[in-house]
């Protein structure tokens, strides 16, 4: 199991478009993927679950991957967060 602390740094936070990018990235993953924020734990492969976190700019989240591709999945998610979901100009 790998846990990665991330900070939402895109201006609009985990809104619909950013959440869709995250879920699409995780869809083919074999690992179980979880996001934890504000005392809630959700399936990171679920659009509705991630949206329910209401994670705005500056929110700290914990991403957890557990499975055969956990290293690759964790690195890809960290990269997506670091790129601000490709939304910043």
The predicted-structure confidence for 9-59, as pLDDT tens digits, reads as follows 999 999 999 999 999 999 999 999 999 999 999 999 999 999 999 999 999
Rounded to whole angstroms, the Cα distance separating 69 from 57 reads 28
Q: What are phi and psi of 61, to 5 degrees?
A: -125, 155
Among the options 4, 15, 32, 84, which is catalytic? 15
Quote the pTM value: 0.93
Residue 89 scores a pLDDT above 70: no
What share of residues in the chain are helix, strand, coil (percent, to 5)? Answer: 35, 25, 35
15 part of the active site: yes
Rounded to whole angstroms, the Cα distance separating 79 from 47 reads 19
Rounded to whole angstroms, the Cα distance separating 72 from 50 reads 20
The separation between CA 7 and the C-alpha centre of its own chain, rounded to angstroms, equals 10
């Amino acid at each position: 199991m790998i846990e990665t602390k991330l900070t939402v740094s895109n201006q609009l936070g985990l809104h619909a478009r950013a959440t869709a990018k995250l879920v699409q990235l995780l869809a083919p993953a074999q690992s179980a993927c979880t996001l934890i924020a504000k005392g809630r734990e959700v399936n990171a492969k679920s659009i509705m679950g991630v949206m329910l976190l209401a994670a705005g700019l500056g929110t700290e989240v914990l991403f957890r991957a557990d499975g055969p591709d956990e290293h690759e999945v964790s690195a890809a998610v960290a990269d997506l967060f670091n790129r601000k979901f490709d939304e910043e100009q």
